[in-house]
Structure 1
Amino acid sequence: MTRRDAARNWQNIVDTGRAFLDEDRPLRLNEVAREASIGVATVYRHFPTAEALLETLARPSLEKLVADAEASLRGDDDEWAAFAGFLTAGINAQLADPAVQPVVAAATHELPETAELVARLNALTGELLAWVHAAGRIRPEVQRADVIRLMCGVVFAATVHAAPSERPALTRRYLDVVLEGLLRRDASDQGRGGGEPGR
């Protein structure tokens, strides 16, 4: 098999895996191989586990989220707007790409690059949280793990028993509720971000 054939097979597997996720089908490598008309052994050579394929599918979205977080920390927005903007980007990524949430939530990862991306994303989330903490804009007891779990919870709440067309609006509404709850009350009373916490 030539390098070009291998690259074509890899792309075919990835495209087929993406179609499985978009259709809300379980990502099983044998079924991906059958649908892609590629030998099972070839699929396993490229992706030894379904988790490895899932992480490959999630990688572009994770890279964009890291870039969004870095841009938020460098941007001209104030602390709360930067923090809320990044959380919004995270919610949008989970809605647009069903590979993101399970990969971010996984305790371990198959691919070293995935582990690095998730670790970087968690670190950047912590930096943004520290920024709003230092500014006194967020409830002092809120920790990084709380933020990550709440974002997963928002997406779950907006997707369970809801039609796909309803999910973006529901997610935005639930995110605004969460942001309002995270905002420190005395900061809101002073008019710093309290009017439009989700911005």
Structure 2
Amino acid sequence: MAALTEDEELSLNAVAKRAGVGVGTVYRHFPTPEALVLAAYEHETKELVEVVPALLQRHEAPEAFRLWVTEHLAQYMTTKRGLARALQAAGSDDHAGVFDEIARAVAILIAANVTAGAIRADVEPRTVLRALSGLIMLKTDGDRRTESVKLVDLLWQGMQAN
């Protein structure tokens, strides 16, 4: 994934070298650089969404929300900033579908927190996700965790049940 987000030009040779495999192996699975970019994007989005039930199983709903945002969504959004160039080159216009998937994950977290009495029932998943879009502005070389915690705290205050 790093080769996809760090390099200005996407090269399957660079990806193969970083992965420690031959370029033929990469081409067998991904006939074009764009196919590799789209597969990586879909894989990371799936992981982001699928971690939600596990977080809710291991943590109280408010903590699960915070961990998902600070440990998972912040990382996802920071890496997607670099991947955006590659997605544009790939001609992908599936951003709406990805937004819908992530909004469903947020809806699950919101429902758990409403049930727990931690947040208001009128909180809308898409509004929360739009508010969290500020995570994309976090610097990769900065203290992403501290900054994402500040953003979650601010948002949480607005969502809290009275």
CA contact (8 A) 2:12 2:27 kept: yes
Shift of 1:100: 9.4
Between the aligned partners of 2:65 and 2:148, the Cα distance in structure 1 is 17
Q: Which residue of 1 aligns with 2:20?
A: none
Q: Which residue of 2 aligns with 1:158?
A: 138
Q: How many residues align?
A: 147
Q: Which residue of 2 aligns with 1:19?
A: 3
Superposed CA RMSD:
3.8
The two structures have a TM-score, normalised by structure 2, of 0.63
Q: Which has the higher contact order (CA 8 A, sep 6+)?
A: 2
Q: Which residue of 2 aligns with 1:88?
A: 70
Unaligned segments of structure 1, at least 5 residues: 1-16, 110-114, 187-199
Q: Which residue of 2 aligns with 1:107?
A: 96
Q: Describe the superposition over 1:25-48 as per-residue Cα deviations: whole angstroms up to 9, x where unpaired.
A: 4454xxx14656969xx8598245
Q: What stretches of structure 1 move > 6 A for 4+ residues in a row?
A: none
Shift of 1:106: 0.8
Alignment of 1:124-143 (within 5 A): 124-143=105-124
Shift of 1:71: 0.9
Q: Which residue of 1 aligns with 2:37?
A: 54
Match of 1:167 among 119, 144, 162: 144
Q: Which residue of 2 aligns with 1:182?
A: 159
Between the aligned partners of 2:51 and 2:28, the Cα distance in structure 1 is 33
Give the structure with higher Rg (CA). Answer: 1
| 1:19 counterpart letter in structure 2 | A
Percent sequence identity over aligned pairs: 18
